[in-house]
Amino acid sequence: MKLQLFNKQVYVDRRAALKQAIGQDGLILLLGNEDSSMNYKDNCYPFRQDSSFLYYFGLDVPMLAAIIDADSGEEVIFGDELSMDDIIWTGTLPSVKEMASLVGITETRAYLQVVHYIHKAITSGRTVHILPPYRPENKIKLATWLNVSLDDVADHVSIKLIKAVIAQRVIKTPLEIEQMQNAVSISVDMQLAVIKHTRPGRKEYELVAKAEEAAMAANARLGYPAIITTHGQTLHTHYHGNTLQEGRMVLSDIGAENAMHYGGDLTRTFPVGRSFTTRQKELYEVVLNAMDHAICMLKPGVRYKDIHLAACQKLVEGLKQVNLMKGNAAEAVAEGAHTMFFQCGLGHMLGMDTHDMEDLGEPYVGYTDTLKKETVFGLKSLRLGRGLEAGFVLTVEPGIYIIPELIDRWAAEKKCADFINYDVLNTYRDFGGIRIEDNFLITERGSHLLGKYLPKSLMEIEGLKE
Ligand SMILES: [Mn+2]
């Protein structure tokens, strides 16, 4: 097995920057992931290393942990050598020492020696900085090693470390941008394969197969489970058993995770048959106009929340044109009337994680000490609100989702009846949903579309189907 890594200096520099951000203030403990069983111990999910561990230590191998001593500067990787059984069943690997040297680390210890380091630090009153665990096995380890209950692990998470890691990872370097360009371009190829395979009579899962094939053929995999559906109104459905029927649209939200674990996240909505119906065309244009408006606003200093709200207003203006909404567009957005159609946020950070660093906490990744996430329907699902900075990579993904159950609920309450034409809306009950999503790098002056261009206008999409 060959390990895929950046140059050693990349990791040395990243850790040096982290040490500087933490200052002389105790131990930084970063846990890698271990293999996770699917239905019995030896049948595991595909291994996915923790992204922060990958960022600072690069080693895409299960059962490693690492410590950075912010006081002494010492860096240690903890891991066990393979047993003969490991070698027989899963093959060989370089020794822990050899792997550590690939990322500029000379000190290595057996895995459980990490406990000794932690205890020593705690007994001498030093801080042990940890990130919030999202896997049960790592949570159990932390509880055991720190000698606290599982419920109390959350209280021992280091906000200082969270903020330092986010500040570093959120600004993508040219090396990372190159990886993301690659991941998004593979995602484009996946989308093209799906669109070209779409025709009446086929099943949704046949399209999922095309997406997986295109990813695997590029030495990538899906960064998140495919959303390929003729019921696009369900934002994150993973059911793929429907038959594609003429007259409906397919919503395809898929993204590659490349060999270096950087990801893309693209969505296109297209007709099952050759062309969109008139209603589909009209609402597609509404979403596309909102998207174009949002893209024009992308630049450092602008709050993403304001871009989200501006996009919402564009959606309302468009929905008024087709008589689904009425009244003053700004007031409609202030009242939340648009959330009948657009229940989620405009986008999120993107990187090694599809929702980049969401494990570290949305309040720190997408918001700040002074800008907190709102709790109302709609804005509670906006993962990114803060002011943009050059080097951010994010998604822009407006949509219109016609959810019959939501129509009935709101109509019964006469909710936002000054802004929504319920009689017209009821004739759209079977419409489905539209989402269009691309990925952008924020630059000094504005933004840059990542990856190869993926057709998105009505004409371009229909052109692909000929
Ligand atoms: Mn997305």
- Spatial distance between the Cα atoms of 405 and 429, rounded to a whole number of angstroms: 9
Distance from Cα 405 to the centre of ligand 1, integer Å: 24
Distance from Cα 343 to the centre of ligand 1, integer Å: 14
Distance from Cα 221 to the centre of ligand 1, integer Å: 16
Distance from Cα 95 to the centre of ligand 1, integer Å: 38
The string of DSSP codes covering 18-57 is HHHHH-S-SEEEEE-----EEEETTEEPPP---HHHHHHH
Distance from Cα 412 to the centre of ligand 1, integer Å: 32
Distance from Cα 86 to the centre of ligand 1, integer Å: 38
- Spatial distance between the Cα atoms of 395 and 308, rounded to a whole number of angstroms: 11
Distance from Cα 267 to the centre of ligand 1, integer Å: 8
Distance from Cα 439 to the centre of ligand 1, integer Å: 9
Distance from Cα 166 to the centre of ligand 1, integer Å: 19
pLDDT of residue 466: 73
- Spatial distance between the Cα atoms of 316 and 95, rounded to a whole number of angstroms: 60
Distance from Cα 256 to the centre of ligand 1, integer Å: 12
Distance from Cα 245 to the centre of ligand 1, integer Å: 26
Please state, rounded to an integer, the average pLDDT across all residues of the chain: 97
Distance from Cα 356 to the centre of ligand 1, integer Å: 10
Distance from Cα 395 to the centre of ligand 1, integer Å: 6
- Spatial distance between the Cα atoms of 177 and 227, rounded to a whole number of angstroms: 25
Distance from Cα 224 to the centre of ligand 1, integer Å: 10
What is the phi/psi pair of residue 130, to 5°? -130, 155
Residue 66: strand pairing partners: 30, 77
Rg of the chain on CA atoms, in Å: 24
Distance from Cα 266 to the centre of ligand 1, integer Å: 7
Distance from Cα 98 to the centre of ligand 1, integer Å: 38
219 closest CA partner among 266, 264, 259, 179: 259
Distance from Cα 233 to the centre of ligand 1, integer Å: 15
Q: What residues have CB less than 8 Å from 349, skipping those under 6 apart?
A: 170, 355, 356, 357, 365, 366, 383, 384, 392, 393, 394
Q: What residues have CB less than 8 Å from 233, skipping those under 6 apart?
A: 401, 402, 403, 431, 432, 433
Q: In angstroms, how far is CA 423 from the centroid of its own chain?
A: 37
Distance from Cα 347 to the centre of ligand 1, integer Å: 6
User: Looking at the predicted structure, is the pLDDT value of residue 1 above 80?
Assistant: no
Distance from Cα 143 to the centre of ligand 1, integer Å: 33
Render pLDDT for 225-277 as a digit per residue (tens, 0 to 9): 999 999 999 998 899 999 999 999 999 999 999 999 999 999 999 999 999 99
Distance from Cα 340 to the centre of ligand 1, integer Å: 20
Render pLDDT for 8-50 as a digit per residue (tens, 0 to 9): 999 999 999 999 999 999 999 999 999 999 999 999 999 999 9
How many Cα atoms sit within 13 Å of 82 on the Cβ side? 16
Distance from Cα 432 to the centre of ligand 1, integer Å: 18
pLDDT of residue 89: 87
Percent of the chain topping pLDDT 70: 100
Render pLDDT for 321-366 as a digit per residue (tens, 0 to 9): 999 999 999 999 999 999 999 999 999 999 999 999 999 999 999 9
Distance from Cα 226 to the centre of ligand 1, integer Å: 11
Nearest-10 crossing angle of helices 113-123, 136-146: 50
Signed CA dihedral, 383, 386, 387, 390: sign only: negative
- Spatial distance between the Cα atoms of 62 and 44, rounded to a whole number of angstroms: 12
Distance from Cα 437 to the centre of ligand 1, integer Å: 7
Distance from Cα 188 to the centre of ligand 1, integer Å: 14
307 closest CA partner among 333, 335, 268, 269: 333
DSSP 85: H
Q: In angstroms, how far is CA 362 from the centroid of its own chain?
A: 12
User: Looking at the predicted structure, is the pLDDT value of residue 134 above 80?
Assistant: yes
Distance from Cα 40 to the centre of ligand 1, integer Å: 32
Structural domains of the chain ordered from first start: 8-169 (3.40.350.10), 174-464 (3.90.230.10)
Mean pLDDT along residues 81-108:
94
Distance from Cα 51 to the centre of ligand 1, integer Å: 18
Distance from Cα 345 to the centre of ligand 1, integer Å: 10
Q: 257 and 183 in contact (C-beta within 8 Å)?
A: yes
How many Cα atoms sit within 13 Å of 416 on the Cβ side? 28
Mean pLDDT along residues 40-66:
97
Task: Give Cα separations from 291 to 7, 249, 263, 287 (angstroms).
Answer: 38, 19, 21, 6
Distance from Cα 323 to the centre of ligand 1, integer Å: 29
* pLDDT band of 137, cuts 50, 70, 90: very high
